[in-house]
Structure formats: C-alpha cells, structure tokens
C-alpha cells in the first residue's frame, strides 16, 4: 500500500481500520449524522512514509501514530481516524457550528479517545482507540 490514503473512498478508509475500532467509529459517524453533521473520515490508515512527511511539515508530533498500525502481513489495521465535517474540514466554521464538541462527545460515548481534549497539543479531528501511553503523557507534560 502506498500513495496518499487521504484520497481513498470513505469505504476504503473504513476498511483500513482495525475491525473492533471500525465498529465504534461507525457508531460515532451514525450519531453525528443524526445530529445533522456530515462526518467524513479524512485519514484512517496512513503509511509511515506519509507520517514522516507530516512530521517534516510539523503537522504531527509523532513519527509513529495509531494511524500507521498494520498487520504483520502489511494489511492496514489502523487504531485512529481523523474525522471532519465534509463541509468545513478544519476551518473555523467547524468549531463555530459545534462540530468538534459533538465529535468529542460522541467519541467518548463510544468508548474512544478524542484528541481535541489533549491539553498540550489538541488534535481536533483525531479519534484514537487507545489513550496515549502514560509515559508519552509524562513526557508531554514535562515539555520534552
């Protein structure tokens, strides 16, 4: 797998998620649609090469993320999804229309984590399956 996985179809992005995680993401998307939003997965799985490029552009703080997870045979098995409203993306209108707050509520209700609640580096669209490791959190809180 290569190329820019942000350009994949919604279906392919969803299939790139770990199955347990995918079920929860599906619930979050359904709840958001019920609330009148137009949720869209921007990134499901992405390659380590794309991750390094995002790091070079300073659009991420990590060189390996839950988006990069794969099975040993190379099949995408991501444990994070970036979810935006198709109308607004990351534009100020997303916040103004309450999309990020709704995403946080629904992610937590589904038992997932919401990156927008991270104090030092809020990552508004980022919904991972696992909390960040306690050590990583200690490191961040130490400003290191």
Contact positions toward Zn ion, by CB under 5 A?
80, 82, 126
| Three-class secondary structure of residue 17 per DSSP | strand
- The DSSP call for residue 4 is -
| DSSP string across 39-54 | EEEEESS--HHHHHHH
Give the residue closest to Zn ion by C-beta.
Answer: 126
Least Å distance, CB 115 to Zn ion, is 6
The neighbour count for residue 119, using CB atoms within 10 Å, is 8
Residue whose CB is less far from Zn ion, 102 or 127: 127
Question: What backbone torsions phi and psi does residue 111 show, to the nearest 5 degrees?
Answer: 85, 20
Nearer to Zn ion (CB atom), residue 26 or residue 36: 26
> Minimum distance from CB of 83 to Zn ion (Å)?
9
Shortest Cβ distance from residue 95 to Zn ion (Å)? 17
């Amino acid at each position: 797998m290569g190329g820019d996985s942000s350009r994949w179809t919604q279906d392919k992005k969803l299939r790139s998620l770990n199955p347990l995680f995918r079920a929860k993401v599906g619930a979050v998307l359904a709840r958001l649609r019920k609330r009148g939003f137009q949720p869209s997965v921007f990134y499901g799985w992405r390659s380590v090469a794309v991750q390094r490029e995002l790091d070079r552009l300073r659009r991420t703080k990590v060189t390996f993320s839950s988006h990069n997870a794969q099975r040993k045979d190379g099949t995408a098995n991501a444990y994070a999804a970036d979810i935006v409203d198709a109308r607004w993306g990351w534009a100020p209108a997303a916040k103004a229309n309450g999309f990020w707050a709704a995403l946080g509520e629904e992610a937590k209700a589904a038992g997932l984590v919401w990156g927008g609640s991270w104090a030092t580096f809020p990552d508004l669209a980022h919904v991972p399956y696992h909390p960040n490791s306690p050590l990583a959190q200690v490191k961040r809180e130490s400003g290191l």
